[in-house]
Amino acid sequence: MIRAGLVGLGKIARDQHLPAIDMIDGIALVAVASRNAQGEGVNNYPDLGAMLAGEPDLDAVILCQPPQVRYAAARQALLAGKHVFLEKPPGATVSEVDALIALARQQGVTLYASWHSRYAAAVAQAKAWIAERTVQRIDIQWREDVRHWHPGQPWIWEAGGFGVFDPGINALSILTEIVAEPITMLSASLEVPSNKQAPIGATLNMATASGATIDAVFDWRQTGPQTWDIAVETDKGILLLSEGGNMLRLDGDVQVKAPDEEYPTMYRRFVDLVGARAIDADTAPLRLVADAFLCGRHCPTADFKD
Amino acid sequence: MIRAGLVGLGKIARDQHLPAIDMIDGIALVAVASRNAQGEGVNNYPDLGAMLAGEPDLDAVILCQPPQVRYAAARQALLAGKHVFLEKPPGATVSEVDALIALARQQGVTLYASWHSRYAAAVAQAKAWIAERTVQRIDIQWREDVRHWHPGQPWIWEAGGFGVFDPGINALSILTEIVAEPITMLSASLEVPSNKQAPIGATLNMATASGATIDAVFDWRQTGPQTWDIAVETDKGILLLSEGGNMLRLDGDVQVKAPDEEYPTMYRRFVDLVGARAIDADTAPLRLVADAFLCGRHCPTADFKD
C-alpha cells in the first residue's frame, strides 16, 4: 500500500484526485499539505516541508499546486526519497521537468508526469486506427469557458500559469499520443488580455515530420456548449475525437462514447509505476507549448475580468 | 572540396561567413541565393529553389536568413540531399531543429547547428578549469547596442526573431558548453517595447542540477563600452570570461586574450563534419530560450525606434 501525501488542496485535487485515490487499490491518502484548506480524515500540514517532517513513512507525494511552484516542491520530495505524481503541466519550464527526470533516476524513485487526457476513453483506439493510415491534415478545436472551469485561480493568468494552454496542453497531450511522428511547431499567435500575463486564446500552426498540416485553435471565451475536438483526415477515412477524447467517430459513425475515467486510470498507472520504480514523464506536450510561446506573435486583446 | 551555396546575403554573411569560407581549405562558395543582394565571383539566384535547380553539383547549403524562414529552407535542402550549415539560432522553435536532426539522419547528410560563441578563444580552457571545480554561482551580463549590431533588421523584432535573445543565446551557448550539468530555467522577465514583438531586455533566473544559482541580464540598450561577461564562482577560485568568450581571467589574472576566430574555426569543423557525414546540432541553448519565453513575465517598456 502506497502511503501518499497530497500538496495543494485546490479544485483539481477535490474534483479529481481525492475521488480517484479513494477508488483505487494500492494507494491511500494519509496526509495533505495546503496553505488554506484541510483534508478530511488525514493529517494536515501547512506545507510540504512540514508534511515530510511529520510523516516519515510517506511513500509518495502528489503535487497539485500551480505549475509555478511545482518544481521546487518536486525537487524537495525527490531529494527526500519520495515517489512523485505531478499534476499537469509538470512544470513551468521544460528544463525543470528534465531536471526532475534526472533527479528521480538518480534517487531510484518514480516520477509520473501525468497527462490525464491521454487516458480518455477513446484515445487508445484512435491511436491504433491512425497507426494504420497516413495522416493528411489535423484540426484541433479546444474551446471552453474559463469562468466555469477556472474560477478564482489568479495563478493561471500569471507568467508560468499557461493561460489557455492549461486546457490546450490536454489537446497537445492527445495529439502527441495518437500521432506516431514528432510534431513541429511552425508559428503561433497568442491573444493576451491587456490586464493579464497569459493568453486567453491561441492559434497554432504545426506539422508532422512528413509534412501534414496541423492547425489548432484554443479559446477560453466559449460560453454555451464546450468543444474539445480533434479531427484527423487520413488517406483512408476521417477520425473525430470529441469530448476531450472520450468520444470517437470514424467516418461519422460513433465507435466510442464513454464517461471520463481519466484520473482513476492514472492512479492505477501510478501504483504500477511505483511497484516498478519506473519513470513516466513525457515532455512532448510541454515542449510544444514552450515553442508556441517562443515563436508566438502576441496580440493584445480586451481586458479580462473574472 | 565541398561546393557550397549560401542563402541570405545579409550582414552576418558578409561580415563573417564569406571571409571565413575564403580562409578555410576544403570548402568553396560557388553560389549565393538572395532576394536583393548579389555575391561576387559566384552564381547568383533569387532563392534556394532556383539555386538547387541551377547547381546540381552543390554539396552543401549555408543558411544565413532570419530564423523565421530557416526551417523551411533547411528542410528543402536536406530533402535535396545537401549538407546543411545553420547560422544561429538554428530555428524559430526547438521542434523545428529536432525535425531537421531526424531528417538529416534519415538522409545520411550533415546538419551543423552552429554556435559561434562556443568557438571563442577562451571557452575550451574555461570548460576544463570548471570541470575540476564545484560551481557555486554564475553571473552573466550581456549588454550591447542593438543600433550598432543590428541596424535595419526588422525581422529581429518580429515574433520568432528572438530580440535580445539573438545575442543572449550566445551567452547561453557558452554557459551550456562550459558547465557540464544540465541547466534549469526557473523564471524570467522580458522587457518588450510597446511597438515590437521581441524583448529588448531580459533577466533570467536559472540553476544547475545541483542547485547553484545562475543569474543573467541581457540588455540591448548599452551604448559606450559593450559587455559580454560570464563570471563563475567556484569552491576553488573565480573565473571571468569576457569579450564574448575571447578573454579569460582566473582569480583576476588574465590567462587568455585572443582575437575572435570563431567563424573560421566553425568552417574547419563543418568540413570535418561533412567528411564524416556527422550531425552536430545541440539544442540546449535554444531550449533555454524557449523556456524563458514560456515562463517569462512580459514587462512593457518604451517604444523602440531604429
Q: Where in chain B is the domain with CATH 3.40.50.720?
A: 2-113
Distance from the Cα of B202 to chain A's closest Cα (Å) equals 14
Instruction: Please determine, looking at this structure, whether the domain spanning A2-113 carries the CATH number 3.40.50.720.
Output: yes
Q: Which helix (H) or strand (E) holds A139?
A: strand A135-143
The CA dihedral of A207, A209, A212, A214, to the nearest 10 degrees, is -20
Distance from the Cα of A140 to chain B's closest Cα (Å) equals 19
What is the predicted pLDDT for the residue at A162? Answer: 97
Distance from the Cα of B175 to chain A's closest Cα (Å) equals 15
pLDDT in tens, B63-110: 999 999 999 999 999 999 999 999 999 999 999 999 999 999 999 999
Task: Determine contact, residues B87/B12, Cβ cutoff 8 Å.
Answer: yes
Catalytic residue numbers of A read 88
Is A287 in contact with B94 (Cβ distance < 8 A)? yes
Which of chain A's residues have a Cβ under 8 Å away from the Cβ of B288? Answer: 95
Which of chain A's residues have a Cβ under 8 Å away from the Cβ of B296? Answer: 159, 293
Residue of B nearest to A165 (CA): B294
Residue of A nearest to B194 (CA): A300
What is the predicted pLDDT for the residue at A36? Answer: 87
The answer to whether the bond into B199 is cis (omega within 30° of 0) is no
Residue of A nearest to B99 (CA): A209
Residue of A nearest to B157 (CA): A297
Separation between Cα atoms, residue A240 and residue A135, nearest integer Å: 13
Amino acid at B189: S
What is the predicted pLDDT for the residue at B36? Answer: 87
pLDDT at A260 over 90: no
Q: Where in chain B is the domain with CATH 3.30.360.10?
A: 120-258+290-301
The distance of Cα B141 from the centroid of its chain, to the nearest Å, equals 17
pLDDT at A306 over 90: no
Structure ipTM: 0.96
Task: Determine contact, residues A137/A213, Cβ cutoff 8 Å.
Answer: yes
Low-confidence ranges of chain B (pLDDT < 50): none
Q: B69-76, long-range: CB within 8 Å, 24+ apart, which pairs? A: B70/B96, B71/A184, B71/A186, B71/B96, B71/B99, B71/B100, B73/B7, B73/B48, B74/B100, B74/B111, B75/B99, B75/B100, B75/B103, B76/B48, B76/B49, B76/B52
Q: How confident is the model at residue A131 (pLDDT cuts 50, 70, 90)?
A: very high
In sequence order, what DSSP letters do the residues of chain B get, joined into one string?
-EEEEEE--SHHIIIIIHHHHHHSTTEEEEEEE-SS---TTSEEESSHHHHHHH-TT--EEEE-S-GGGHHHHHHHHHHTT-EEEEPSS--SSHHHHHHHHHHHHHHT--EEE--GGGGSTTHHHHHHHHHTS-EEEEEEEEE-BHHHHSTT-GGGGSTTS-TTHHHHHHHHHHHHHH--S-EEEEEEEEEEETT-SS-SEEEEEEEETT--EEEEEEESB--SS-EEEEEEEETTEEEEEEGGGTEEEETTEEEEE----HHHHHHHHHHHHHHHT-EE---HHHHHHHHHHHHPEEEEE-----
pLDDT at A115 over 90: yes
What is the predicted pLDDT for the residue at B58? Answer: 98
For A99, which of B96, B184, B192 is closest by C-beta distance? Answer: B184
Q: How confident is the model at residue A236 (pLDDT cuts 50, 70, 90)?
A: very high
Which of chain B's residues have a Cβ under 8 Å away from the Cβ of A189? Answer: 159
Amino acid at A74: A
**Average pLDDT of chain A, as a whole number:** 97
Is B293 in contact with A294 (Cβ distance < 8 A)? yes
Task: Determine contact, residues B173/B300, Cβ cutoff 8 Å.
Answer: no
For B297, which of A182, A197, A209 is closest by C-beta distance? Answer: A197
For A99, which of B71, B188, B209 is closest by C-beta distance? Answer: B209
pLDDT in tens, B184-217: 999 999 999 999 999 999 999 999 999 999 999 9
What is the gyration radius of the CA atoms in chain B, in angstroms? 19
Which of chain B's residues have a Cβ under 8 Å away from the Cβ of A185? Answer: 93, 95-96
Is B293 in contact with A288 (Cβ distance < 8 A)? no
For B99, which of A184, A189, A197 is closest by C-beta distance? Answer: A184
Is A295 in contact with B160 (Cβ distance < 8 A)? yes
Region A289-299: mean pLDDT is 97
Contacts of B188 (CB under 8 A, 6+ apart): A159, B202, B203, B204, B205, B291, B292, B293, B295, B296, B297
What is the predicted pLDDT for the residue at A257? Answer: 95
What is the predicted pLDDT for the residue at A31? Answer: 98
Is A294 in contact with B298 (Cβ distance < 8 A)? no
Which CATH architecture describes the domain A120-258+290-301? 2-Layer Sandwich (3.30)
Q: Which helix (H) or strand (E) holds A297?
A: strand A297-301
For A294, which of B103, B158, B289 is closest by C-beta distance? Answer: B289
Residue of B nearest to A159 (CA): B297
Separation between Cα atoms, residue B34 and residue B50, nearest integer Å: 10
